[in-house]
Amino acid sequence: MKRHTVMMMCLGALVAMGMAAPFTAAASPARERPLRLGGKGATDVAVAVRAWNVKPKAGETTAAMNARVRKDLEKLLASDLSRLNFDSDYWRLLRYLREMPWEKMPARWQRWYLEKQPNLMLTDAQRQSLIEQAAKKRIYEMTPKELDVYLGDTFGSIPDVRARVVHYARKTLGQPYSMYLLGEFPYEVYDPQPLFDTTHGDCVVFAEHMYAMALSRNWKEFFSTLLRLRYKDGQIGMTTRNHFTEADWNKNNAWLVQDVTAQLDATTVSTYREKIDRAAFFGKFGIGKDVPVEMLEDTYIPAEAVSSVLGKLQDGDFVNVVRGMGEGVWVGHVGLIAHGPDGTVNFIHSVSPRATEQPLMEYLETNVKKNAQRARKGQAQFLGFKFLRLRAEELQAEVAAKPVPE
């Protein structure tokens, strides 16, 4: 079952780019060419004996044992690595390479090793190499394996959670936009879409990823936090997903953010009522028909009053873009606040064709100018913003108090 983010989540966004979402975050690699290590230091019998814990056979001399290991090692090093698919030779080769002096290993073998060896098995030097490799990439270019170690390194080097949100958001700028790219598999059995995709994003997925990364020290924490953000109580399913931003996402993630719209002392705060008809939405899929209608009362800061609260916005604030048509009002887009080097309050968000950063007031003024044309076309108009504040201090303390999951 495809993910259907209804009008309150990115309504009015341009048609997605038509790229199929991968089932995992990284695209399937091309078939590897057979690697031939060769060169000085390629065959180190002493390392192989230690890595494989080889012992002499009955009546075998040490020299004979070493000759046997050398022959076995040379055969292994001459193998087509693309055919070593988690068999015994695959793991024997990884054990051998783990024991080799890292600085003596050819660069292409280091790359293969870092791609294949489980992160928990890496030495400190090898782990640092993987971190440095990941740091050269954008977030959407990293494999989950690279992101795993990068999260831990960033958590230690950037102690402030708000700063980490901005760091990850800026490191994700340029990520291609794609709507409806995630699903509920394996709980929706026939859903071909994945539970995560770091290569693409839409407005909500982008924000969820940035928050989940900022609160995580490795991939396991990131994935579990992501599910907690995306689904009510972290329970995966179509009916438990936070489809309605203001009625589901904001409320179910009160542990993460708190609505400060009415506390920012804006010159004007507008109130609106919205009909949340979940049964009508889920009914298209033959589920959730008995869910009662909810009448939501909420507030937002209208466009003309946003300038009065700019100085009170903080990095990592969750921005809800409020739109309306006729008497209907809803949240139709989301993003994050980030201050520029000169103090400008910027808006980082995922929108077609890619994630971007721009001054919040520039976004506001552009959309206000478009309202007249939208009205003539019968399209939803931009009305203003809601702002939710990241519970930074308590979240930082909560994460730091937990043991790092393996």
Question: What is the token pair recorded at 399?
Answer: 């994460």
Give the closest residue to 405 by CA, choosing from 95, 119, 172: 119
Question: How confident is the model over 218-240, as pLDDT tens digits?
Answer: 999 999 999 999 999 998 888 88
Cα 336 from chain centre: 14
124-145 pLDDT, tens per residue?
999 999 999 999 999 999 999 9
Q: Residue 109: what pLDDT? A: 85
Q: Are 237 and 257 in contact (CB under 8 A)?
A: no
Other CB atoms within a 10 A radius of the CB of residue 236 amount to 16
Give the pLDDT mean for 143-152. 97
Q: Is the pLDDT of residue 162 over 80?
A: yes
- How far is 140 from 185, CA to CA, in rounded Å? 22
- Strand-pair partners of 177: 201
Of 99-108, 114-123, 157-166, the least confident: 99-108
Q: Residue 104: which pLDDT band, with cuts at 50, 70 and 90?
A: confident
Most confident listed range (177-181, 183-187, 289-293)? 289-293
pLDDT 10s digits, 60-84: 999 999 999 999 998 888 888 777 7
Residues 346 and 359: beta-carbon distance below 8 Å: yes
Instruction: Fill in the amino acid letter for 173.
Output: L
Does residue 401 have a pLDDT over 90? no
DSSP track, 81-135: GGG--SSHHHHHHHHHHHHS-GGGS-HHHHHHHHHHS-GGG--HHHHHHHHHHHH
Longest dimension (CA), the chain: 94
Tens of pLDDT, residues 21-72: 333 444 444 454 555 555 555 788 999 999 999 999 999 999 999 999 999 9
Better-scored residue on pLDDT, 284 or 210: 210
| Residue count of the chain | 406
Q: If you average pLDDT over residues 316-325, what whole number do you get?
A: 98
Question: Which residues lie closer than 8 Å to 86 by C-beta, 6 or more apart?
Answer: none
Residue-wise pLDDT tens digits, 326-380: 889 999 999 999 999 999 999 999 999 999 999 999 999 999 999 999 999 999 9
